[in-house]
Amino acid sequence: QEDHRLNPNSAGAGTDRGSTPGAFRTLVVQQTSLDPPRETWSKKMDFLLSVIGYAVDLGNVWRFPYVCYQNGGGAFLLPYLLMAVFGGVPLFYMELALGQFHRSGCISIWKHICPIFKGIGFAICIIALYIAFYYNTIMAWALYYLLSSFRATLPWTTCNNKWNTPNCTHYLSTDFNVSWTDNSISPAEEFYIRQVLQVHLSPGLHQLGWVSWQLALCLLFIFTVVYFSIWKGVKTSGKVVWVTATFPYLVLLILLIRGATLPGAWRGVVFYLKPDWRKLLTTSVWLDAAAQIFFSLGPGFGVLLAFASYNPFHNNCYKDALVTSSVNCLTSFLSGFVIFTVLGYMAEMRQQGVETVAKDAGPSLLFIIYAEAIANMPAATFFSIIFFLMIIMLGLDSTVSLSCFLETLANEFSLNEFVFSLCLLSLLFLNLVKCIVNSTMCTKSVCKIRAGTTRFCNDVQLMLGFAPGVFWRVCWVAICPCFLLFIIGSFLAFPPEVRLFDYLYPFWTTVLGYCIGVSSFICVPSYMVYHLVTTKGTFKQRLLKSITPEASGSSGPQRDTIVITNAV
């Protein structure tokens, strides 16, 4: 409560008629905010590291190097940078500004933009949940490798284990009498396929077999770590990212220095950067560039909205967007050197071409090729421990999307104890199809862009003191929607082939993938119908109210409402 002496000459000053002229009363005022107080970052660096940790994920380490060399090497950097400048960075900036201005999560923010599109927020939460399941599974594999690394001889370097086959070819850098043939299988590949995933125990998805108790325990531990990383909101996660966001850069630097000193490293670097300008004439290169930059920066997933909502109102989110997106792109480029110096070393050892060694992308690049290369290095145990610890850190940062999902539901429904229950429930899931879900995420971003660009620019000017320039307006209105529709159309026209090594997944798994995508997107039209049905008035009145933004009680400099609760 605050005591205010009111000036007798001001409006509303209540003087005592029976008292001495000039005397005045004391008005006791309690200042009450209509909205609950919003948490804020303890330090500006907590926010920056959280955004960098979210944007820099596993895709930077395994996907960008593979996509780069597959699409023309150094020539791929041209479409990649163009897609970043005209598509990825404007979306990144837009989402940070929206979250900071309205100080809301991905569900409640829509009442300030266009209430009938609130279903997009629920769709974002579903996709965030899917992505968390996906990344936590990868982290569980990395944890299994990390625990297996604490021994003098790494288990994926020998062929005398119970999971090995006669085709296992054991060799080290000192084994000059061992030749690599087309039938050879490395110990690292058999460890990943037959010991970790145990693929050989199942004939296919129609008969999955028993759950691996080792991986189940690893997954339980990962979800426990995630829970304690976010259970107190940004006060906890803001401290965790000081380790999880900086440690990967230290490890990448160590691995880069070590990889550059390996024999044959130059072969990998040349293969990585050698430009093939003819590739730029194919549509697939531009599609891969657009998809890579979009899924790397991660706009549309609601995480950037959640992070920015804890910033001070006048924080310069424009500068933050430029810095963090630049760091993300440079990290992808740096990861290419780290990966391809090692691939060049592997090609030198096997006396094969780099393109043969680097034929597989995705998890196999990390858990087979890179694991095998580490095993052949001096001090293999040390490098194996720090590498797989880095993978866990990268995945842990990206799993903050689960934190966004929980924080949004907590704000919307006051589910304070929902975190622990969901982490236990999530153990029922091991993996989900990701590509189709990501394509629906692009649709959500298109809806965001079209929801009032002019008013959004005015809000940014109120918040930062300057309005977005013509370049940003053109990108938001015209270029970004075309950028996202290009990705959506390409995914629908050319669905990705689902394959694990020699096993081609049956057609019904592709149908399941589309169903997973629809399970999120269906929230948008479903909520539209629900909102129109539950709103009172005629159909025209309901429609008008559904597209009219509500007054933001927590936006702008004036966030508090003065309510007179007692007067003496």
**Is 60 annotated as a binding-site member?**
yes
Pairwise pLDDT comparison (201 vs 418), residue with the higher score: 201
Task: Report the chain's mean pLDDT, rounded to a whole number.
Answer: 76
By the 10 Å C-beta count (0-12 exposed, 13-18 middle, 19+ buried), 333 is classed as: middle
**Confidence band for 554, pLDDT divided at 50, 70 and 90:** very low
**Confidence band for 161, pLDDT divided at 50, 70 and 90:** confident
Q: Which of 10, 313, 373 is nearest to 156 (CA)?
A: 373
Q: 36 near 412, Cβ under 8 Å?
A: no
**Is 397 annotated as a binding-site member?**
yes
Look at residue 102 and tell me whether its pLDDT is greater than 70.
yes
- The kind and range of the H/E element at 240 are helix 234-244
**Is 55 annotated as a binding-site member?**
yes
**Confidence band for 40, pLDDT divided at 50, 70 and 90:** confident
Look at residue 147 and tell me whether its pLDDT is greater than 90.
yes
- C-alpha to C-alpha distance for 141 and 363, rounded to whole angstroms: 10
Mean pLDDT, rounded, for 393-405: 69
The predicted model scores a pTM of 0.77
DSSP 251-284: HHHHHHHHHHTSTTHHHHHHHHH---GGGGGSHH
**Is 53 annotated as a binding-site member?**
yes
**Is 328 annotated as a binding-site member?**
yes
- C-alpha to C-alpha distance for 128 and 305, rounded to whole angstroms: 13
**Is 182 annotated as a binding-site member?**
no
- C-alpha to C-alpha distance for 373 and 342, rounded to whole angstroms: 7
425 alpha carbon, distance to own chain's centre:
21
- Reported as a single tens digit per residue, the pLDDT across 52-77 is 888 888 778 877 887 887 787 888 88
Mean pLDDT, rounded, for 261-285: 85
**Confidence band for 89, pLDDT divided at 50, 70 and 90:** very high
- C-alpha to C-alpha distance for 333 and 216, rounded to whole angstroms: 34
Helix axes 435-450, 89-102, angle to 10 degrees: 60
Look at residue 144 and tell me whether its pLDDT is greater than 90.
yes
213 alpha carbon, distance to own chain's centre:
28
**Confidence band for 217, pLDDT divided at 50, 70 and 90:** very high
- C-alpha to C-alpha distance for 272 and 77, rounded to whole angstroms: 11
Rg (C-alpha) for the chain, rounded Å, is: 27
Q: 215 near 144, Cβ under 8 Å?
A: yes
**Is 470 annotated as a binding-site member?**
no
- Reported as a single tens digit per residue, the pLDDT across 536-546 is 888 888 888 88
